[in-house]
Amino acid sequence: MPSTIRQLWDNELIRKHDLSGPRYTSYPTAPQFKEGFTQQQWLNAVETSNRSASPLSLYFHIPFCDTVCYYCGCNKIITANKALATPYVDAMMKEIQMQAHHIDTSRPVDQLHWGGGTPTYLSDNQMSLLMREINKHFTLHKDDSGEYGIEIHPQGVTPNRLKHLRQLGFNRLSMGVQDFDEHVQKAVNRFNSVEEVTELVNSARSLGFTSTSVDLIYGLPLQSTVSFGETLERVIDIRPDRISVFNYAHMPELFKTQKQIDARQLPEPQEKLQILYNSIERLLLAGYVYVGMDHFALPSDELAKAQSNKKLHRNFQGYATHGDCELFSFGVSSIASFGSMFIQNVKGVEEYYAAIENQELPTQKGIALSSDDHVRQHVISELICHFEVDFASVSALYGIRFKEYFAPELSSLAELEDDGLLSITAESLRVHSVGRILIRRICMAFDAYLNRSQLKQVRAPKYSRII
């Protein structure tokens, strides 16, 4: 595990290999999902999932926000009219009933996550109603052993609301802080104070939340190495269990809200690189473990332990500690992964309401994983979570000869090996410390869809840059 920035950083190599590419929260990635996914395909996938007897993971997408954050690329609905959440909660409860009717719900729910949007947009009563419906139809852990998380916007969430969330069964929090600098906050229309976040993290600890994560974004307008360093120092003083430092990808042609950001105020590429360098250096010195990509965790946190025990997993919410769950999802645009399929719900709320009203599952897109997809999914997961792949174990698991199966891919990594990012032996592929920053670039070599679109010179989906 790298403990100094010098083990992770090479400015020249980062500039050379800093391409645009997927974040690999799934493989195949979302752009490969096909329109017209049918209810029968969903039912077939559920049957396969039920036979697996695997534990469950449940995701609930709450799209509402009071105000717009200009950097945001999430599927959201900006409104101050709280009444609009009422029909949405009603529809979600109906979707829970519809899905649960077909799912073997005797399987325990090891993971549960509410994302958004801003889940705490809902009132305490609405959150209680929704959790009551989940409890009614699924087997939730009663001993606090499940990983049950919720995303919150610190502004407007009080310690008393945290107490209510804890009573509902949540034991993990994710806070989107982004930056404490008042000029940056004004430029992106996202406000939360050091005092608010400190009070919430301390309250979460006293209430028994087992992990609290703080999200930061580097590359926002008006940020500098000095200003972001001050934000990071304040976060380190608060000492959350996990810290994420995400790269801001300015793509206003894809995300309309980003058009409200003045691109002239964005830090220059070299300044942005220096912000990341300084952040990694400071977090390592503060005792955080570099888990991978954007994520850091205290050694005592379950995320760091999962990586140490080779049990780390990656899904649509990022790094996770349970890799053996079948993921079912609810709400607009939510993505499920079960029965060897990825399935995404419709993105529009009116479409969602119409489907639920017609007693139809609101599915829109999906993809059935081929045997090749499964092999590549496993390899990419091993790389992005554990930075190494053992050829013999993959060969035994999938009935292939790894070096023959992936001969073109291994050959394509020769330049990265020459540059010291990784090493390939007869037994394994191992990513060196300096290659961890560029792990997305290494994973791209095993992405058949990405390579196929490049070879055919087809317009590929637009991705953010790695760094």
Reported pTM: 0.94
pLDDT of 7 over the 80 cut: no
Q: What pLDDT is attached to residue 254?
A: 87
Q: What is the pLDDT of residues 368-419, one digit of tens each?
A: 999 999 999 999 999 999 999 999 999 999 999 999 999 999 999 999 999 9
293 found inside a domain: yes
- The verdict on 384 and 264 lying in the same domain is no
360 found inside a domain: no
- The verdict on 17 and 67 lying in the same domain is no
- The verdict on 132 and 266 lying in the same domain is yes
Contacts 24+ apart (CB under 8 A), 7-14: 7/433, 7/434, 8/280, 8/290, 8/433, 8/434, 8/436, 8/437, 9/277, 9/280, 9/434, 9/437, 10/420, 10/434, 11/273, 13/419, 13/420, 13/421, 13/434, 13/438, 14/273, 14/437, 14/438, 14/467
44 found inside a domain: yes
Q: What is the total count of domains within the chain?
A: 2
CATH of the domain at 390: 1.10.10.920
Q: What is the pLDDT of residues 64-103, one digit of tens each?
A: 999 999 999 888 999 999 999 999 999 999 999 999 999 9
Q: Which of 327, 351, 382 is the last residue of a domain?
A: 327
- The verdict on 133 and 1 lying in the same domain is no
- The verdict on 145 and 221 lying in the same domain is yes
- The verdict on 252 and 397 lying in the same domain is no
Q: What is the pLDDT of residues 304-362, one digit of tens each?
A: 999 998 889 888 878 888 778 999 999 999 999 999 999 999 999 999 999 999 999 99
- The verdict on 125 and 233 lying in the same domain is yes
- The verdict on 11 and 47 lying in the same domain is no
Q: What is the pLDDT of residues 167-180, one digit of tens each?
A: 999 999 999 999 99
246 found inside a domain: yes
- The verdict on 378 and 321 lying in the same domain is no
Cβ distance 246 to 217 under 8 Å? yes
313 found inside a domain: yes
183 found inside a domain: yes
341 found inside a domain: no
Q: Which of 261, 293, 327 is the last residue of a domain?
A: 327
User: ∠ CA(362), CA(366), CA(368), 5° rounding?
Assistant: 135
Cβ distance 445 to 389 under 8 Å? no
- The verdict on 24 and 37 lying in the same domain is no
335 found inside a domain: no
Domain with 74, as residue range(s), is: 33-327
Cβ distance 112 to 53 under 8 Å? no
First to last CA, the chain: 20
Rg (CA), the chain: 22
Q: Which of 275, 292, 327 is the last residue of a domain?
A: 327
DSSP-derived secondary structure for 66-97: SS--TT--S--EE-S-GGGHHHHHHHHHHHHH
- The verdict on 153 and 282 lying in the same domain is yes
CATH of the domain at 189: 3.80.30.20
What phi and psi, each to the nearest 5 degrees, are found at residue 423?
-135, 140
- The verdict on 6 and 46 lying in the same domain is no
